[in-house]
Chains A and B, each alone.
Chain A
């Protein structure tokens, strides 16, 4: 039953690009301001969703309202235009069914052919079919449309009434009051949408008055209502907002006017209303055209399950900052121990032009020198003769192994690259390691190698005045091919004694870098496997309870942990680092506090390692200040949420993961500051054992109560 109710409410929310149940409930109630239209709409969705369930359509889509919103519109529209008679009532039911099938078909067609949503095209199509069909009946009467101008809020200026009426038209309500009510719930749902609404109306209103001498109220309402819907779609719901959002909206609003006039004239003969046709046309063509750009760095089309424009933005922004370089390949540094990047990208010696994305690595001693004694022979250099390892699984495709190592200070320009290995990693990625020691290469062409296999020793052959390792990614197997910008997956870097962790990025010149050395206990604690279950006892601000988790995998192979109230934590496990990619659900669950604590976790323990990560503020900041800040989100994000994390080793091989989270505003909002901190304890057996978080308002603590607990009890006895 709740599933069925959900499907009704979400169908209403869909019309406003909202994913909130409460929003659907509110919208449904508001439609009852004109009970006839409201009830017809409700009937539309009840019948359509019932049919979808009866015919076994995709349950998730039914629940989200995909099949429900067009039938609402068609039923409401017919009620909007015509006097209701029993005959018409029967026809409406038939047309609800018709609309349902058209929307199912169109949705599939649009998705497969254009990878676009169907929007309200099914509604428009069935409405036209209805209107042309009905014109042959003398028994169906149009309503007197003048009733529109009557239902105004008298004390408001005229243009505001027009604004509210055009807003109400989205759900085919004929009154300003409905418009005002819709506007209020939109404000609660999304500040960005609210601003978009006003922006769209204002721009449209002004342009219309600039273009035409006498603008009819009906034209204003028609264009405004299309403009507002377009602003909803392109201003955050289907395209993630960015600096280019406002210009985009501005241009598309012009298109709306053009197409409205165009369709009005085109459809005039047939006596068909334009309604949402311009919106569908402009939005679909805009989104479709944006798909064919070379880069999607801004005006990014939504690529995940939609939320409010704010949530979409925060999620996307978080993903960009955290995983921009993520490539599904995890190359690591081709050596063990700590090395220094002696020449990075665009280096001043040789990493130029086509070869600018390369690295030279050396080992520096404690004395800040790279050699001991006089440094006159290769053997004095710390890196000389140390193992070079494969950065990633692959096949050896080129090997040169017979070039002499140079004397210190001399270079061999004839054989520029010296002894070199080129490895094919598949996926069109190759790596090349050069200046290796003569006769030190232990692999041959055609060998399949694994990440971290020793393949050679660092040397001084080729254009190498002193021993070092040259490393580059490239796109072919050619020795000396131009470099390709590709990141290392994870590494630890050192500066001034402090260690940091970097993911999917490029070691910089002058920094000291090494691979993450994993710790058995930590690794085991984060080794989540499909079907693993966890049970926690927790207390939150004095309230206590039990929570159960299960590790699951969705259709797209995303792993997530789901707790018993349906909250989900999406996780990603690489060889060396655990990432929480997203959290969807309640903020009073163990899983939520776990999410805060484990935003990213390297499987290695280093005493002085601190790392930072960012959260989407839609998940971590629940403050009125955030809602305020969203009024100017179209221009810039004012509030950020970041944590500093580090490992602490406790006695008995236990580890503690400590996080300090800070939510902080800037600019106008710099007064805003929230802090919380907590820790996750891992037992020496590599089990999560407790989770704790504290701030001004929250005192949370949870403990795992699996079988391990019994053992602990025994020990304390």
Chain B
């Protein structure tokens, strides 16, 4: 018989009032294993904290999304949003599933090329494309999505100088009825800049207008704004075909589809209030048929979903460092993963589940990271069972923007592993060592030595 589980004493405030119609808010049931591998085993082998990705889940997500769109529209192409997660292994899984690369900087561009993506399968977005990067993209026949007039002028100059043609699209922003309006990216539709940019491109011999692009925002919680956005793009596409006889290769609706992460300040769980992906797909595809084209002539629908495809394929495994009680009596749990690894905890209430079975009592707690900084708060309030030093937690839905926005701050960044479809575990990014940080540092000679008394 195993030893009985020790549960420390808990003080619970007794309520006497109306029954809460939502029931008590329980903690998540324990998640003891990820993809069939015990959390304990993973952290013992690869250290704690540990980012863990599931290959199967990524592929499932991508295939499901592709299925949803492909059964609603004849030509669909996904492009993996590098900024969401550009670890080589992750990108390669998406490329194996047929996704192109969507990059927003020269660094990301080079990374995609380095992974073996052809220029023609790279969509180059973003407001900052250096002259060198543009030149590279033109030579590689990448699809360049122009963000502003100055970039358009550079591109005109570069293509003329190189005597090459460039495949381009413009990014268009428009009022889709949501806040915030992302009108800082691309050309605005309402003020006529988009039409003007299209005209200039249509008149230029070196620029080959092949698409229209928009990206209305991030974590869009309703399908309707997408419909509005596509209606605008379709209108522009019709204008292009009428005025300039240009038939577009594609319409790129960008990303912004939400994952199941719940935003701070959101009362209900994301799962309960978000539309289904099918509803988004219906809203995005329906206006495209107003192009009045034969199915073979319809432009390809490109989607740059990032978050929705990767968030729930990522887990952050972490270990409890200690417990303490605040001045107001609130319990706090300190774990070894902080906001330096999980930037996203600034706007999401990440779900945190215990990684082992524990007692039945739960307590409202705050979860703090290990940094010696006041901002290192993972959750202000979360109901968790009693935890002891060395116990583990699994932080869910951390696949998106975590391993790209994380930073080396106070601590070194941990291992990232991928659990492969066959159940094996591969390290896809090694934990940092001191040399990784110091090797790029330079200490002026005069500062080379000191003696402390």
Contacts and interface: CB of A to CB of B under 8 A. Distances in A.
A366 B296 contact: no
B343 to A, nearest CB: 31
B70 A337 contact: yes
B71 A452 contact: no
Contacts of A385: 278, 282
Interface stretch (B31-39, B59-67, B401-409): B59-67
Contacts of A517: 74-75
B67 A365 contact: yes
A604 to B, nearest CB: 10
A694 B63 CA distance: 39
Given A450-B294, A454-B289, A652-B141, A386 B71 contact: yes
Contact of B74 (A336, A383, A520, A653): A336
Contacts of A684: 141
Contact of B296 (A365, A382, A575): A575
Given A337-B67, A363-B67, A652-B120, A386 B72 contact: yes
B118 A651 contact: yes
B294 A387 contact: no
Nearest to A366: B63
Contacts of A607: 98
Interface in A298-335: 335
Given A385-B278, A520-B249, A363 B71 contact: yes
Interface residues of A, number: 30
A405 interface: no
B171 to A, nearest CB: 22
Interface string A349-391: 0000000000000010111000000000001001101110000
B59 A452 contact: no
A386 B295 CA distance: 16
Name the residue in B67, B71, B249, B276 with the highest tally of chain A Cβ atoms < 10 Å from its Cβ.
B71
A653 B98 CA distance: 15
B70 A336 contact: yes
A562 interface: no
A339 B72 CA distance: 12
A688 B98 CA distance: 26
A518 B296 contact: yes
Interface string B280-299: 00100000010000111000
A86 to B, nearest CB: 75
B86 interface: no
Contact of A365 (B64, B72, B289, B295): B64
B237 to A, nearest CB: 16
Contacts of B249: 520
A338 interface: yes
Contacts of A438: none
A338 B141 contact: no
A523 interface: yes
A451 B98 CA distance: 28
B70 A651 contact: no
A652 B64 CA distance: 29
Given A366-B59, A652-B120, A336 B72 contact: yes
A651 B282 CA distance: 34
Interface in B259-307: 276, 278, 282, 289, 294-296
Contacts of A653: 120, 141
Nearest to B66: A337
B100 interface: no
Contacts of B46: none
Contacts of A382: 67, 71
A383 to B, nearest CB: 7
A386 B141 CA distance: 36
Interface in B140-159: 141
B296 A337 contact: no
A387 B60 contact: no
Interface in A491-520: 515, 517-518, 520
A379 B296 CA distance: 30
A680 to B, nearest CB: 20
Contacts of A339: 71
Name the residue in B63, B64, B296 with the highest tally of chain A Cβ atoms < 10 Å from its Cβ.
B296
Contacts of B64: 365-366
A108 B91 CA distance: 73
B73 interface: yes
Contacts of B296: 518, 523, 575
A454 B288 CA distance: 12
A387 to B, nearest CB: 6
B294 A338 contact: no
Contact of A452 (B63, B120, B294): B294
Interface in B321-344: none
Contacts of A520: 249
Nearest to A339: B71
A338 to B, nearest CB: 7
Contacts of A379: 276
Contact of A335 (B71, B278, B282, B289): B71
B70 A452 contact: no
A335 B295 CA distance: 12
A337 B73 CA distance: 8
Contacts of A575: 296
Nearest to B281: A386
6 contacts: A336-B74, A338-B70, A366-B64, A366-B67, A387-B72, A454-B289
Interface of A: 335-339, 363, 365-367, 379, 382-383, 385-387, 450-452, 454, 515, 517-518, 520, 523, 575, 607, 651-653, 684
Interface of B: 59-60, 63-64, 67, 70-75, 98, 118, 120, 141, 249, 276, 278, 282, 289, 294-296
Given A363-B71, A366-B67, A452-B295, 20 more contacts: A335-B71, A336-B71, A336-B73, A337-B71, A337-B72, A338-B70, A338-B71, A365-B63, A365-B64, A366-B60, A366-B63, A382-B67, A385-B278, A385-B282, A386-B72, A387-B71, A651-B118, A652-B141, A653-B141, A684-B141
Q: 6 tightest A-B contacts by CB?
A: A337-B71, A337-B70, A452-B295, A386-B71, A366-B63, A518-B296
